[in-house]
Structure 1
Amino acid sequence: MSDTEFGMQGTDIRNGVAVGIVADNEDPEGLGRVKLTFPWRESDDESHWARVATPMAGDEVGTYFLPNVDDEVLVAFDSGDLNHPYVLGSLWNGDQPPPEDNADGENTVKTIKSDSDHKITLDDDDSAGKVEITTSGGHTLTLDDSSGAETITIEDSSGQNTIEFDATKGSIAIESGTKLSVDAPNLEFTADGNISIEASGILTLNGTLVRIN
């Protein structure tokens, strides 16, 4: 879009901030910019490419959360010039509500949630705090700081296969719904106390040489 189409430098000024809608986020230069439309302009009158403010940005480092097309964003303009917009952040609205609702007023839950429902949850509850990573398929990693619990749990979507680290008991538990396999060139098991091997069926030991001492 030319300057004439969107307002010439110095002739199209808007002070303060404005609400815009993301019209395009496929930046041809790969700089993480977006194009915008504004309520006071024609719906097909897109802005110039707008840079997106982010908590951290550097040479191929930083946080990367690019707004989606049709997302509502808050926009500021360099010296009020509409030809140089900057996206300050994204806005929720009646059609695009937040992923949490703070229904209890405690505001203990912080969340990052993607379009496909991958989710990171930070729960700051004093008695049941935890950090949880959940995939859209239902796999979870939970770091639980609940009073008396203090566990790290990895669980698949079926709920049948889990690994749990229990800081309170000083134990690690591995459970599988059907089979548990350990494969390595060499395996070594050492215990300061007893080792118990128990099977409800047949117990088989195979090897070129089996030594029992």
Structure 2
Amino acid sequence: MIGLDLIALEQPQQKIYGMVIGIVTNNQDPEKLGRIKVKFPWLTNAEESKEGAESDWARIVTPMAGGDRGMFILPELEDEVLVAFEQGDISQPYVLGALWNGVDKPPIEKDEDEKNDLRVFKSRNGNKVIFDDAEGKERIVIQDKLGKNKIVIQDTIMIFNDKAKELKDLEPDKAQFTLDASATPVKITVGKDQDFLIEGTGNITFQNPDKDFAIECKNFTLKTSANTTIEAGGNAEITGDKAAFEGKSGMDLKCSSGVKVNSSSLEVS
């Protein structure tokens, strides 16, 4: 704090009550206490540049602070902030908050009904969280700087992105994901010309013992590397324009009550 020390040597220290404007010069607190330094353009002397003297490390007022908890948001370099001093002592500064100005303007979003419905948190790189309280259109939006990847919570949860979506558990040995939609159907839609893959290293089971299970598609292929078992508790029926059954090493047909073949022609070779 060379600048303020020089001023103190040249004139008796004066108390500064009230609040003053400062510009952030340093946000890398060597003691990791979340403090910053600011310069005061209005406070200069012959030994200082016209940009102003630099303060001591200043603590920042935040909505919540405590041991390893709280809201941690440091101002960026060159941000304009509002500063006060403990008991008017210029060597004991506190930063009360940040200020927009004619150069640094707020991240304005379109507010259609002009009822102050929006609450926006936007980072330096453009990542943002939006709380929209528009009546009947309430939503929460989390999106990246380009707006290509976002989550919208509005009655339903919608995920938009231009890359692969991945749901991952940090403890794979304990992973369990449950989708419960007892009131409405569950629908998974895959975009045009996109593949849908279900893959696993363990068993994959579709289970619904009291309801029907239907698959409808153009062509259907069932392929296993070992054995295939199809079992029905009632009747089993396969219908097609033409049916072919082929066994490369043999075929067994077994029925406990007889076999009936109904055809206009029968050829066995």
Calculate the TM-score normalised by the size of structure 2. 0.68
Q: 2:188 aligns with which of 170, 173, 177?
A: 173
Deviations 1:102-152 (A, max 9, x none): 5743000101111111111101111111011101242111110xxxxx211
Return the offset for 1:197. Answer: 2.0
Residues 29 and 162 of structure 1: CA distance in aligned 2, closer, same or farther (over 3 Å): closer
AA aligned to 1:119 is K
Who wins on radius of gyration, i.e. which is larger?
2
Match of 2:18 in 1: 16
Report which structure shows greater RCO (CA 8 Å, sep ≥6).
1
Q: Provide the rounded CA distance (Å) in 2 between the counterparts of 1:162 and 1:58.
A: 34
Gaps of 5+ in 1: 145-149
- Cα RMSD of the aligned pairs, angstroms, is 3.0
CA drift of 1:171 comes to: 2.5
**Structure-1 residue corresponding to 2:198:** 182
CA distance in 2: counterparts of 1:104 and 1:194, whole angstroms: 48
User: Could you say which structure has the higher strand fraction?
Assistant: 1
What is the 5 A alignment of 1:113-152?
A: 113-137=122-146, 138-144=148-154, 150-152=155-157
Question: Do structure 1's residue 70 and structure 2's residue 78 form an aligned pair?
Answer: yes
Q: How does 1:75-114 map to 2 (within 5 A)?
A: 75-100=83-108, 102=111, 104-114=113-123
How many angstroms apart in 2 are the aligned matches of 1:79 and 1:32?
A: 22
Aligned equivalents of 1:24, 1:156: Cα separation in 2: 36
> In structure 1, the residue corresponding to 2:103 is in which secondary structure?
coil
Superposed counterparts of 1:155-170, under 5 Å:
155-157=160-162, 169-170=184-185
Contact kept? 2:15, 2:88, Cα under 8 Å: yes
Unaligned regions of 5+ residues in structure 2, if any? 45-50, 168-179, 232-269
| Deviates most, 33-42 or 181-190 | 181-190
**Identical pairs, percent:** 32
How has the CA–CA distance of structure 1 residues 182 and 46 changed in structure 2, closer, same or farther, with 3 Å as cutoff? same
- State how far apart, in whole Å, the 2-side matches of 1:167 and 1:112 are: 35
